[in-house]
Amino acid sequence: MGPAQLVIRKRELTFCWLEYRKRMSLDFKAKVQRLEGAANWTRWKREVTLLLRHNDVLDIVTGQATVPVEPADAEERNQYLIRLRTHQKKDDLAQLIIVNSLNDEHVDMTSMCDTAKATWDKLISIYEQSSGQRIDRLMELFFTSEKMVEETIATHVGRLQRNFRELNDELKKLGNVELPEILLTSRIMSTLPSQYFEFKSVWESVPVETRTVNLLLERLRLIEQRLPVNKGETEALLVKSGNKRQTEHRTKENIHKKERKCFICHETGHQAKHCPEKSKKKKQTDSKKNLKTEGSAFVAITDRNNDKGAFYIIEDSIVEQDAWLADSGASTHMTSCEKHFVMYEAFPTPKAVQVGNKDVILAYGKGAINVEMKIKGIWYRNHLLDVWYVPKIGRNLFSISQNINRGFSFKADRRGCIFIKDGKVRLVGRKTSNNLYALQMRVIVPEEAVEVHVASTESTLQLWHERLGHQAKSHVRKILQK
């Protein structure tokens, strides 16, 4: 290309840039989000496609408009040059639209592409598989998607619609085939939770020819707004490690002082700080009074043979007493079954655990337990670490705070709870009739359980009393607490 041709080419590019700025500023204002990666690829592709179509250069990118072929006849050369320049201007305009919506990393990736189609194909090859592989992935995604606990109906339906549209686009490319919309409505109905069971019969009465996604979404939104919400009083007692402070949450805050009930003797007419039973609580045994609290638990001691405080799980393979409860107040996982451990390490001295009713019970060691967790109908093997052995704990407790410290996030609503890590659901729980979250998790009991040794507080105190030269037990107890 000679100097004169370079000058002409520079003028053409300048004209294309001015034309692009003019269209963007006067004719159509569009703000396209820059392409950052796979996270916003689908949205970016849609926005850029609309902008290319608006500027009448989409056929350049897709390859429908090809470079004019130079004719053999000299008389047609002038028309050829005009068509060639028009094609080059459109190609330059398409490249400007694409490149201006890329971040610096993607600009470097496409720096060797000299046409708009080459740039577009480069990005497609990075973020989209071949048609056959993409169809398999989209089909699997469409037919296995389930409504997440935290999703609204509108969000869930929108996600299925996006998958359905992408699947149809790939089918059109391969064989000019398109799936009917009734398949999408049927798929939406099959993913609805149990609260919408009665609506399924109502929807079946609607004539097939009038069943549309918009109509279905409209009716589902009405049902979602009418679903009952548990408005009963909620109370929670949180006892933190090493401190006896408690907080009480109630939905009814304007109760008259005379009508308040003492949480110690459960009588009305006085508060706990003036309760005559409070002095009796101070006369506990020395083993419980002077123990340093090293653990905490949300629930109080519950006898396994007592039906009070029982809950029910909709899962045949999990026995009620063996279920694990998600506990926001537990400082660590706890169990009372020594047969569950595959590894166990005894504490040098028993550690005190203060539970919700202010009682103090003892933990004698910690270890690992093999479990299975049910997610979307499939049981996955996993394990729990640092599980404390507490013989007198009423239920198996799964510490929410311990899992949050290990990188998990916890979400809960009126139907259940989920634990999420790296964007994937790792554990699911269902809300019971007593407003507890029972996890879909079961213990894999080892064939040969490890030996679990339990030493009483008095025997341990006596042992250290002898080791320290028969000093006073009160002095030994103070040393052990440090």
CB 303 within 8 A of CB 414: no
> Dihedral sign, CA of 375, 381, 384, 390?
positive
Q: Record the pTM.
A: 0.35
What is the model's pLDDT at position 11?
64
* Residue 355 Cα to chain centre, angstroms: 30
* Residue 480 Cα to chain centre, angstroms: 43
Name the DSSP letter for residue 194: G
Q: Tokens 């998790």 identify what position?
A: 441
CB 393 within 8 A of CB 297: yes
Name the DSSP letter for residue 24: I
Mean of pLDDT values over 19-33: 58
What is the token pair recorded at 19?
């034309």
C-beta pairs of 190-197 under 8 Å, 24+ apart in sequence = 191/145, 191/146, 191/147, 191/156, 191/160, 192/147, 192/220, 193/147, 193/415, 195/223, 195/227, 196/220, 196/223
Q: What are phi and psi of 458, to 5 degrees?
A: -65, -40
Query: Which one has a higher pLDDT value, 129 or 24?
Result: 129
**How far apart, in Å, are the Cα atoms of 126 and each of 51, 119, 369?**
21, 11, 43
* Residue 120 Cα to chain centre, angstroms: 34
Helix (H, G, I), strand (E, B) or coil at 172: helix
What is the model's pLDDT at position 312?
39
In sequence order, which ranges of 227-285 are alpha helices (DSSP H)?
Answer: 278-281
Confidence of residue 419 (pLDDT cuts 50, 70, 90): very high
What is the model's pLDDT at position 387?
92
The residues facing 398 across adjacent strands are: 326
Average pLDDT taken over every residue of the chain: 75
Cα 395 to Cα 391: distance, rounded to the nearest angstrom: 10
H-helix or E-strand containing 170? helix 153-175
Closest CA to 158 of 222, 219, 217, 203: 217
Q: Tokens 């198996």 identify what position?
A: 396
Confidence of residue 18 (pLDDT cuts 50, 70, 90): low
* DSSP assignments along 440-467, one per residue: SEEE---SSPPP-----HHHHHHHHHHH
For residue 307, is pLDDT > 50? no
Neighbours of 11 (CB within 10 A): 10
**Pairing between β-strand 416-421 and β-strand 378-389 as defined by DSSP bridges:** unpaired
pLDDT, tens digit, for every residue of 72-131?
777 778 888 888 888 888 889 888 888 888 888 888 888 888 898 898 888 888 877 655
Helix (H, G, I), strand (E, B) or coil at 417: strand
What is the model's pLDDT at position 417?
92
Mean of pLDDT values over 432-441: 83
**Pairing between β-strand 360-375 and β-strand 416-421 as defined by DSSP bridges:** unpaired
For residue 316, is pLDDT > 60? no
* DSSP assignments along 37-106, one per residue: SGGGHHHHHHHHHHHHHHTT-HHHHHTSSPPPPPPSSGGGHHHHHHHHHHHHHHHHHHHHHHHTTB-HHH
Name the DSSP letter for residue 391: T
**How far apart, in Å, are the Cα atoms of 102 and each of 98, 159, 418?**
7, 25, 36
Mean of pLDDT values over 292-306: 47
The residues facing 70 across adjacent strands are: none
Helix (H, G, I), strand (E, B) or coil at 445: coil
pLDDT, tens digit, for every residue of 35-44?
888 778 888 8
What is the token pair recorded at 242?
């090493």
pLDDT, tens digit, for every residue of 322-342?
788 888 878 889 998 888 888
Rounded (5°) CA angle 253-254-259: 105
Cα 267 to Cα 445: distance, rounded to the nearest angstrom: 45
